[in-house]
Structure 1
């Protein structure tokens, strides 16, 4: 395989909202496993005497920034939290790669998502409240398709389900697509959100769960795993393209392979021979020797059957190839965050990429003494129990394993990033940090996140950060921070957090008026008109992206109630959405005979202008009633299609419109008048023709 660069990443896992927080938890040996949050399970599941009470949980799986993605309140209500999470993770990973949504639109980028959980769909179908948006909102294929749709991507868009190895299988599928030229770059994600206690109980009955809620990987106490949830996303492109574009490269994916246990004793029983074959196949595609592998991020669930099999396969392929006294180092992120099941592979991939990026190996938790069936010394394996230097050289390789309960194994081989091209910037170069968001509050939140961010000031400069920020999508609300060193920038960020939009050191206007004066002028133009080009032209020459893992867009998430089962005695009421007005209905959208009808108000209006205004108010109100609130970013001059109004919503809209006006408009009226303004004129003329 040709080497592939990992140029962007994001994650949301137990205890961490992003890769920076995850890395801090890994280095400190933090376990993010906790007691099941109150209200997570249904009453029946919660009352089960033996349902495990521990897990790795996301903080707020019901929160989502629907407006950011142009999704209405009604549609978001019936949208699987996994779809919501993948959308946000994809945006963050693309932004981390210093790309904008506009850069991707129309490009042959692929989207590959590993997933298998359908907890939300089961809860939705059992709730007794079905909605047409639930069809796309709960369909598994939409995990990838919705990302492709939002970014306008033209490459493959696929969801892969191989059980617990799904997300690493998605990586393998992306690698193959890149090699075959099916896409020029790829977004790869994995996701799992646990919303049904019954599923956890089912896994306990199967025998897969740990009694004490911990993964004791390779330890003598290994008796099963603890479930976790979350997701991660990475951006891949060929190494050649990444170096050409000046991207930061976290690591290089040298190759991958997949296979199945095939004919073994029983379904669900792993095969050491099959795992060995996959390891060797991955090494061949990566062009590495087994002796080059210095660290492996294990599948490492901590089960008494699976651990010895995985250890034997590693010893058979890698341990015996390495010199005596230099064992292959191993660890498992599952000991920190639990087993993320379909997202487990990409969680391990993100950890391994961070290991190579930081040149450090965090400890694997819950290991004291090895399983009696695992002779680590004979297998030439060492479990890393304390954080240590990676010591990786250009020829070293790092492995990542993920295995599915049906026997589908995947192994990926990573390597360190090549030395970056380009020269270092002058240490005192001035910079403008451009902050942009959809609201003033979000701008301040981004400034607050940058202020708290643990910058590696030895590895990047204030100019590096400026380059990364100016490459992001530009929104309608903006602020700028000027500075030539970290102290000046921090002081400026504090001013933005306090509510200012323009933060320039007080001495700048009086010193170096040629250079700094031009910067101040460009900063003012950016804040007031969004002129980012002037800022770009004033940045010193240098490599495009040397400031990875910056805080990404601060989503303004709001809660969307998760569906629950309908009560037996009486069906629960369906979610209600506020109706903003526009005809003879009350706030809930129910026809109120005491309110004047729309036709009555139209007839009483004085002149065409007032009547057309009433019609437009009606049209906007009916759309809002359909979508559970105003349509995000709606443009009355743009077509319904360009505003994201789907064909089924238009038919519902037409029915409501005819009911309100007493007209008999056909679908042709929508095609001939594809904007709100045009349709308002059409309805007004039809009303005049029928009512005078």
Structure 2
């Protein structure tokens, strides 16, 4: 081999990868903080199809829906998918009109993820930042394809060519690393995470944006799934339950920002969790049919992930399952038992749950929806309940398997101050994924803030309307009961002033306490200009070198609608 080192398949994959930023738009939850509330409060976000999507009754006309086949009325839906801040991203209005809402929401969610990571987009321009996007469906193109009049290249690049979803993000932020749209059906986002981590470890990129996108804009897939008998009659994913009878389709736009762990620590980034290793496999013909699940295929992905992570599967205490609430569950639980049950200490079952029980199946985005939930579980050392699990499925030997589906929030066990968890995924294509994550190491203590020290908070937006909305969001953030009350003022000001883009319209307030800053923002919103409020300094204000990144309020987008007339039902499929 000429002295060239060849890594054994049994060897660890290399340096861990840090998750330094998250952004999401999921049913009932815009942003990770809202998602955590939804999960811990056991909220079911599935609902009937909103009026601005499609008319399922018109779709079935002139023939009625078959008895009992009302499952296509349900789904997990993100609000206002038609809206897009095209001006913010420099997209002309005529081009925005042809832009798939998956691309629109991806741009805005990616910006939010970068803000969560404290990465300034203008400083990423021209950098070796890679983009990997999991995407499977192109409903927006399908709805336009029959109306060739008025369509052209903007339609082709805006909705028909899936490769443009990743390319759009790279172009918008001027990112020069790999730009790839991944389609392995329901495991697309999980595969995208695996490829992004591999690229970072190989030195192909310094930073990676990895995303999953899925929007339910057409009833056709749900109707066909319903005819195949794989949708739940009540529109609920009942993972591991005796009443499990299918899944429900849902929207999801999720973005994670990944960076080599050593680089993240050196740059002072906030590490939300650490990806230790991952594995991908395909079932091949180790199953009775093309679309059937395979224990053998899933076990292969799991074992590869734990070899790469360099840990024993028995060390993991929580698995975010693919968990659709279909016959696939029994196969997945059998695979998890085979891998995680080996050498597992007695009396220490592995918790296993599914975010799909809260929000439905986000399909191509499912792996990242599960990753966000798992990162939040690691951060809070808590596993929220998995919904709709009332009677354990009789085809699973629960007395033997070392798995437990929690019906209430439970503490996540840890070892030596570290918590370990995993995200499992599979797909109709036979491609399986498994991601192994660890909680971030505790950050070393820093000197306590100086009592009575004055801090300056600088807010900015592209226009006065956005600035006012941002000031309102920060006033709530800083008031009693607000999320900002748990963070030091120096950390809040550092995150806002040094790790977010400065836009033309700016506001600065100064104060010595959360209440003082919040009060001055309220005074400004009322039109008053007390001492401590004024034009921001020309340069970024100096901050305490011990300051750290913290989570901040989401950007209030100033959106406008660019929606084609897609409400008319497409040609019905035959109803059996």
TM-score surpassing 0.5?
A: yes
Q: 1:480 aligns with which of 502, 508, 522?
A: 508
Structure 2 equivalent of residue 300 of structure 1: 323
Q: Does 1:219 pair with 2:241?
A: yes
Question: What does residue range 631-642 of structure 1 map to in structure 2 within 5 Å?
Answer: none
- Counterpart of 1:310 in structure 2 is 332
- The structural deviation recorded for 1:565 is 8.1
Local SS of the residue matching 1:415? strand
SS at match of 2:81: coil
Contact 1:113 1:170 in 2 (8 A): yes
Specify the alignment match of 2:158 in structure 1: 137
Instruction: Note if contact 2:42-2:387 (Cα within 8 Å) is conserved in structure 1.
Output: yes
- Are 2:36 and 1:23 aligned? yes
The partner residue of 2:401 within 372, 379, 386 is 379
Assess, with a 3 A threshold, how the Cα gap between structure 1 residues 567 and 12 changes in structure 2: closer, same or farther: closer
CA distance in 2, matches of 1:19, 1:396: 19
- Is the contact made by 2:54 and 2:567 (CA closer than 8 Å) also made in structure 1? no
Decide whether aligned partners of structure 1 residues 86 and 457 sit closer, same or farther in structure 2, where only a CA change above 3 A counts: closer
Q: Which of residues 183, 198, 207 is equivalent to 1:185?
A: 207
User: What's the counterpart of residue 542 of structure 1?
Assistant: 546
Question: Residue 210 of structure 1 aligns with which residue?
Answer: 232
Aligned to 1:461: 488
1:37 aligns with 2:50: yes
Q: 1:77 aligns with which of 76, 94, 97?
A: 97
TM-score (norm 2): 0.90
Q: For the structure 1 residues 308 and 503, does the alpha-carbon distance in structure 2 shift closer, same or farther, using more than 3 Å as the test? A: farther
Query: Cα deviations across residues 438-490 of structure 1 (Å, max 9, x unaligned)?
Result: 11111111122223336556752111010000121111111112222221122
Alignment partner, residue 432 of structure 1 = 456
Tell me the equivalent position of 1:58.
Answer: 78
Give the counterpart of 2:176 among 154, 159, 163: 154
Paired residue secondary structure (2:112): helix
| 1:444 equivalent in structure 2 | 468
Q: Which residue is equivalent to 2:122?
A: 102
| Aligned ranges 1:244-323 → 2 under 5 Å | 244-263=266-285, 264-303=287-326, 305-323=327-345
Q: Which residue of 1 aligns with 2:8?
A: none
Alpha-carbon deviations, 1:346-400, whole Å to 9, x = none? 0000000111112221111000111111122311111111112224344442000
Match of 2:370 in 1: 348
What are the within-5 Å matches in structure 2 for residues 382-401 of structure 1?
382-393=404-415, 394-401=417-424
Q: What is the deviation of 1:563?
A: 3.8
Q: Is the 8 A contact 1:10 1:93 kept in 2?
A: yes
For structure 2, the residue ranges without an aligned partner over 5 or more in a row are 1-13, 571-576
The C-alpha deviation readout for 1:58-115, integer Å capped at 9, x for no partner, is: 1111011100000111100000000101111111111111121111011100000000
Cα distance in 2 between the residues matched to 1:180 and 1:567:
47
Change (3 A) 1:25 1:541: same
**Counterpart position of 1:121:** 141
On the 8 A contact 1:7/1:248 being kept in 2, the answer is yes
The answer to whether the 8 Å contact 1:245/1:544 transfers is no
CA contact (8 A) 2:283 2:298 kept: yes
Q: Distance in 2 between matches of 1:46 and 1:162?
A: 30
Q: Deviations over 1:622-645 (max 9, x none)?
A: xxxxxxxxxxxxxxxxxxxxxxxx
Moved over 6 A (4+): 565-568
Aligned partner of 2:6 in structure 1 is none
Distance 2:356 2:565 in 1: 29
In the TM superposition, what whole-angstrom CA distance separates every residue of 1:212-269 from its partner, at most 9, and x where no partner exists? 1100000000110011112110100011011101111110000100001111210111
Q: CA deviation at 1:567?
A: 10
1:377 aligns to what SS in structure 2?
Answer: coil
Instruction: Give, in whole Å, the separation in 2 of the partners of 1:371 and 1:378.
Output: 13
> Residue in 2 aligned with 1:335?
357
Q: For the Cα contact (< 8 Å) 2:469–2:556, is it kept in 1? A: yes
Query: 8 Å contact 1:254–1:414 — kept in the other structure?
Result: yes
Conservation of the 8 A alpha-carbon contact between 2:507 and 2:535: no
**SS at 1:20's partner residue?**
helix
| C-alpha distance in 2 between matches for 1:492 and 1:233 | 34
C-alpha distance in structure 2 between counterparts of 1:234 and 1:417, whole Å: 15
Give CA deviations for 1:284-341 in whole Å, capped at 9, x if unaligned: 00111111100000100000x2011111111111123311211000111000000000
> What whole-Å deviation, never above 9, does each CA across 1:503-560 have from its counterpart, x for those lacking one?
645xxxxxxxxxxxxxxxxx7452xxx6133x1x2x2221442x12x11322111112
> As a proportion of its length, which structure holds more helix?
1
Q: CA contact under 8 A between 2:509 and 2:534: conserved in structure 1? A: no
RMSD of aligned Cα (Å): 1.9
Q: 1:329 to 1:566 in 2, by over 3 A?
A: closer
Q: 1:5 aligns with which of 8, 15, 18?
A: 18
Query: 1:45, CA displacement in angstroms?
Result: 2.0
Q: Residue 360 in 1 paired to residue 382 in 2? A: yes
Partner residue of 2:523 out of 495, 516, 519 = 495
1:369 is paired with a residue of what secondary structure?
coil
Contact 1:217 1:366 in 2 (8 A): yes
In 1, Cα distance between equivalents of 2:229 and 2:202: 41
| 1:131-152 superposed Cα distances (whole Å, 9 cap, x missing partner) | 3311211121111111111111
Secondary structure of 1:85's counterpart equals helix
Does the Cα contact within 8 Å between 1:479 and 1:496 map onto a contact in 2?
Answer: no
Change (3 A) 1:73 1:457: closer
